[in-house]
Structures are given as structure tokens and as C-alpha cells.
Structure 1
Amino acid sequence: MVLSMERWVGKVAVVTGASSGIGAAIAEALVERGLKVAGLARRKDRLDALAQKLSNKKGKLYPVQTDITKEEDIINAFKWIKENLGPIHILVNNAGVLGQTSLVDGNIEIWENILDVNVLGLSIATREAIRDMRANNVDGHIIHINSVAGHQVSQIPNMNFYPASKFAVTALAETLRLEMLNLKLKIKITIQELTVRSVDESFRNEK
């Protein structure tokens, strides 16, 4: 059974890393389909520019300046969303970094930043979204934007720490699925590899 995107019209979606690239494209696609989208990113000027670009669309983009490596920033962002936009129905964990480093001569600061963004930031945002969904009895949807590197290690020069973070995303999604089954929650968890079309289809193809 294929459901229409009409289910989500007027609902609140949170997109991390929304100031550029695939995150901006996802935010734009959701706004065009009538959602209230909280775009989280550090670069507020880019969020503001995207919000202006989308000002005549069916939905609306709300810029929320957030450093995804800082738990306090994430918590405050979700607090603002709940107080100003309403219950959260969708979270798209898009924020991610590659990091130019190796394992043999690795830079610990780059390693830490990769883990802070790709693993810890994703986990904190997921926790906050689920807390809000449970509090409001919302059968929501969480999407982790992942990479083929989260399923198979390839030899990519100077990006040798990145696959470990994306394998972690794969494991976190499956573990979360099992947790929610045990808790009898009806929140959906999905992993998607990068294309806006696949994210859109993941919302539409629900049973």
C-alpha cells in the first residue's frame, strides 16, 4: 500500500545539516510538499537565504542555528522547535563530515569531529526527537542519511576513519529498531543513501 505525502502536510520535520548540499535539497523538497521544516545548521546566513528562497512554497523553512557537535545546542534547538512549531513528526539526520585523515598517521581532532557529527550528534538528535514523539503519541519517522561506506569499506585515500562512523550509523539504526520493537513504539526508522528522491520515497512507501 502506497500512501500519499498528504499524511505529512502541516507536520513538523527536522533536518540536520540543512544549510547546503543534500540537506538543503531535502529541506526544500519537504517544504515544497507542505511541511513545516526546522533546518538545523551552524551557518545561519545560508539557512536564512534558503528560507527566503522557499518563502512562496506550500510549507515553510524555519532556520535554527545549531552546532551538531554540541549537545546543549541540539537540546536547545529541539526545545525551540517544540515550543514554536509543535510536535515533531519527522527527523532527517543528514549532518555528516568526511575528514581528511588516515589511521596510521591519524589526526585525533579530525577523528573526534567525525564521531561528534556522524555518530554522537545523530544519536542525540534521535534521542530528542523520540522523546518528543513519545510525549505527544506521534507515530513518527526517523531517517539516517548514510553512505555505501556504511555497508562496505572501500579504499579511499585519506578518508580511512569515515567508514567506521558510517558503519556505526548502520548499527545504530538496527539497534534503535530493536529497542522500539521492545518498547512497542510505532516510530519508523529508515536508512537512506544520499538521494533526495529516495528520502521522499521512504515517506511515501509506508504500510
Structure 2
Amino acid sequence: MERWENRVAVVTGASSGIGAAIAKYLAKNKLVTVNLDINMEGYKALLAEVNAEVRKRMHHIKCNVRKEDEINAAFREIEKKYGPVAVLVNNAGVLGDSFLLSENNSGEMLKVLETNLLAAVYCTREAFRSMKANDIDGHVFMISSISGHNVPIMPNNPLNLYPPTKFALRALTEMYRQEFLSQNTKIKVTCISPGGVKANLLNHPGNIAPPLPTELNADTIADLLIYCLQTQPDVQIHDVIIKPMGKSVC
């Protein structure tokens, strides 16, 4: 991990869950981490979990990742305050609270689409601009989901556009791989698709399904991301599924 020390890593939605675990692990590995999220209180709670040395490497910029102009402004602020971006983790994601066939749910569907997919597009564009301009062989991560491989059967729970957006992140991963190559860069892109994770989106108030029999810990996802970062320059882990042991369908 030495080559990543003091480099800037941007994580969207790092105020809780998988994103929080990833931000903490990156900072512990001596990267300067910046959380883009509208939830500042959650990130303050995260800071209380780490020691002073790690805490000084963890930063937060209030940013609604559904808004392109706020993302663009945040990346300009990051470069000015902390330096060029070397790692981007597109983690922000939400579930909808309505079924696709529900009436008057256009706003709900747009929220899921903007948060889960368009935010990743805007952030990756800005991160790439920073990496390219500063000749950085960076790494972009897409945090997808097992539901981006197989749509789960959950008839009583509104998944809304969540599975389609997670399928799209996997498609984006290959598209970015090709574009990074065509731009004569060595920037890597990795898609991570977790199965059931403790305290993840499936535990939101609108979900009435029982808990999964076995679930991953968010720290496990963060550990996998660190492993991907440590690969040799000529190795790219492109698309990986990580599931909990046991009988869980996820």
C-alpha cells in the first residue's frame, strides 16, 4: 500500500454502512479520505471510532450527489485543499419506497436513478479528469450488489430501480475499462458486488422482509477493496462477487 500513502481517496456516501467502513480502512492505510455526503452527523460519529492519527486524514464535504453542480464543486474543493484524486469509491446508494407500478412515483424513481447511477457517472468523470491531468494511475471502484447480477425475489418489498441501477454499474465498469485504455492511461476500475450486508439498505424502514440468515460485515467489503488496491500495476480485479458463508440466498 506504500504507493497510495498520502494520496487522496474520495468515497461517496461514507457516513454509514459500507462507505463508512471503506473510508475508515483507507485512512488507516494512510490515504487522505474525503467523504461526499449530505449526512454530516453520521460522519462525525465515524470519526469518534478512530484514533487521532487516523482522524486527521478523514475529511467531509457536504454534497448532495444527486446534483451535478455540487459534485463538480466538491471535486474542485478537494483538489484545492487536499490534492489530485487517486482513488474514487462510488458507494452512494438508496432503495426506493415504492413499487415500479405504483402511481405517482416518478420522484422516487428519479432519486434512485440519480443517487445510484448518475452520481457515479459524474464522480467518475471528475475523478478521471483529476487523475489524467496529474498523470496518476488511479483506481475507480463501483460498489454494486448481488442484485446487480440476479434480481432477488422480494414480492412484498419495493426494490424500485435499485437492481437495474446495480446492473448498470457493472456495465459502466467495462465501459470505463475500455475508455481508460483508449485514453492511454493505466487507471484501474473494479466492481464489487456484495451479498447481504449487516445494516445495509435492505434494513431501511420500508423493508418488511425478515433478516437474512447470514450477512457480511461492512468491514469485510472494505478489506476486499484494500486487497484490490494492493494488486500489481499489471493486474486488474475487474468484477467480483462476495457472499457470506451459509445458506443465505444472497
TM bucket, shorter chain: over 0.9
Q: Kindly state the Cα deviation for residue 52 of structure 1 after the two structures are TM-superposed.
A: 4.6
> How far apart, CA to CA, are the structure 1 residues paired with 2:168 and 2:93?
13
What SS is found at the alignment partner of 2:59?
strand
Please say if residues 20 and 46 of structure 1, whose CA atoms lie closer than 8 Å, have aligned partners that are also in contact.
yes
> How far apart, CA to CA, are the structure 2 residues paired with 1:176 and 1:184?
12
Gaps of 5+ in 1: none
> How far apart, CA to CA, are the structure 2 residues paired with 1:42 and 1:81?
16
Partner of 2:47: 51
C-alpha RMSD of the superposition: 1.5
Give the 3 Å change call, closer, same or farther, for CA 52–84 of structure 1 in structure 2.
farther
Work out which of the residue numbers 23, 27, 37 in structure 1 matches 2:23: 27
Partner of 1:98: 95
Gaps of 5+ in 2: 195-220, 235-250
1:13 aligns to 2:20 (yes or no): no
Q: Kindly state the Cα deviation for residue 150 of structure 1 after the two structures are TM-superposed.
A: 1.0
What whole-Å deviation, never above 9, does each CA across 1:101-148 have from its counterpart, x for those lacking one?
A: 222225111110010001111100000000000110111000011101
Superposition map of 1:146-185 within 5 A? 146-156=144-154, 157-185=157-185
Code of the residue aligned with 1:96 in structure 2: it is G
Please say if residues 113 and 161 of structure 2, whose CA atoms lie closer than 8 Å, have aligned partners that are also in contact.
no
1:111 aligns to 2:109 (yes or no): yes
1:70 aligns to 2:67 (yes or no): yes
Partner of 1:84: 81
Code of the residue aligned with 2:230 in structure 1: it is R
What SS is found at the alignment partner of 1:102?
coil
More displaced, 101-110 or 126-135? 101-110
1:143 aligns to 2:141 (yes or no): yes
Partner of 1:203: 229
More displaced, 96-105 or 134-143? 96-105
Taking structure 2 as the reference length, what is the TM-score of the superposition? 0.77
Percent identity, please: 39
What whole-Å deviation, never above 9, does each CA across 1:162-183 have from its counterpart, x for those lacking one?
A: 1111111111111111111222
Partner of 2:209: none
Higher relative contact order (CA 8 A, sep 6+): 1
What SS is found at the alignment partner of 2:53?
coil
Partner of 2:121: 123
Please say if residues 146 and 191 of structure 1, whose CA atoms lie closer than 8 Å, have aligned partners that are also in contact.
yes
Taking structure 1 as the reference length, what is the TM-score of the superposition? 0.92
What SS is found at the alignment partner of 1:193?
strand
What whole-Å deviation, never above 9, does each CA across 1:80-120 have from its counterpart, x for those lacking one?
A: 10000011100001100111222222511111001000111
Q: How many pairs does the alignment contain?
A: 203
Larger radius of gyration: 2
